[in-house]
Amino acid sequence: MWTMGFLLPHAPILIPEVAARSGAQTGKTLEALISLGESLKRFAPDLLLVLDPHAASERILTFVNADRFIGDLGEFGARSVSLSFRGAGEEGDRLFSYLHPHFPTKYYRPGVHDLDYAAVVSLHLLLPLLGVVPSMVLVNPVTIGFRQAFELGRLLRGYPSEKKWGLLASGDLSHRLTKSAPSGFHPDGQVLDRSIVEALRASSPDPIFNLPGTVIQNAGECGLRSVLALIGLSMGEKIRFLSYEAPFGVGYASALLECSEEVS
């Protein structure tokens, strides 16, 4: 069963050990997470499906169920931020077999797999809230369409398992919110981010699906499929919107889904 889903940004600058080196100021995301205290520990999953739009991909929905996942932020001057996870083993195999008929997929079972910074940042933000280190599976969703990403979340909610599963939806929003943003400024960036926040608050994809495709393209996002998968997983249950900030011209949002055992 699914116990929780979390949307978290993955900018390394959000990690204090990285931010301290540059003097950068971020706050709302970390403040929102700190405010949760130990409330998430009762939802802590046995297994975690991590959606990472920067993970290696074979141009189709790519699953990695390694024996062990490792990663750190050494490339950002913070090698002390390091993580190690077990893979999901046979339970990961079963999840892949459940989803495979619905999407073109590629599946890997390596001995060791290196996590990229996007997974490391989101996982580093999440783990203190759980109080445990779950086993994990890594999936890159960027090769599927937006409506497929929403359907992925709905299919996940129907996955029959006696284990407790959680979803970590990693992703940043628009990268084009200011002139100094990594991809420059476009007014559609703000349009997209407002629609994403509205969709999360409503636990509905409609504010996103109602946007013209050109708005999404112009906004320069990387995490929209992660957002839509979380909304799909909610099956209309309330998603708790936690924070939004854009201090460097990139939108960072966090949100929490606490899953009930039964949904209609």
pTM higher than 0.85: yes
Give, as one character, the DSSP assignment of residue 87: B
End-to-end CA distance of the chain: 15
pLDDT at position 137, please?
Answer: 98
In this predicted structure, what is the pLDDT of residue 19? 85
Alpha carbon 55 to its chain's center: 12
Mind listing the pLDDT tens digit for each residue in 222-240?
999 999 999 999 999 999 9
List, in order, residues 6 or more apart from 39 with CB less than 8 Å away: none
Structural domains of the chain, with CATH: 2-258 (3.40.830.10)
- DSSP lists the bridge partners of residue 81 as none
Question: Worst-scoring range by mean pLDDT, 1-5, 38-42, 241-245?
Answer: 38-42
| Region 92-106 average pLDDT | 94
What letter represents residue 32's amino acid? A
Q: Which of residues 52 and 57 earns the better pLDDT score?
A: 52
Q: Report whether 259 contacts 233 (CB < 8 A).
A: yes
166: nearest Cα among 60, 31, 41, 75: 41
At 156, the amino acid letter reads L
pLDDT in tens, 148-178: 999 999 999 999 999 999 999 999 999 999 9
The two tokens of residue 47 are: 């297994």
- Looking at residues 54-75, what average pLDDT do you find? 94
Neighbouring C-beta atoms of residue 196, cutoff 10 Å: 28
Q: In the predicted model, is pLDDT for residue 32 greater than 90?
A: yes
- Identity (one letter) of the amino acid at 199? A
pLDDT for 166: 98
**Percent of the chain's residues with pLDDT above 70:** 97
Q: How buried is residue 7: exposed, middle or buried, by Cβ count under 10 Å (0-12/13-18/19+)?
A: buried
Main-chain dihedrals φ then ψ at residue 230, nearest 5 degrees: -65, -45
pLDDT of 179 reads: 94
- At residue 144, does pLDDT exceed 80? yes
Residue 25 has pLDDT above 70, yes or no: no
pLDDT of residue 264: 47
Average pLDDT in the chain: 94
List pLDDT tens digits, range 183-196: 999 999 999 999 99
Considering only CA atoms, which of 105, 65, 67 is closest in space to residue 86?
67
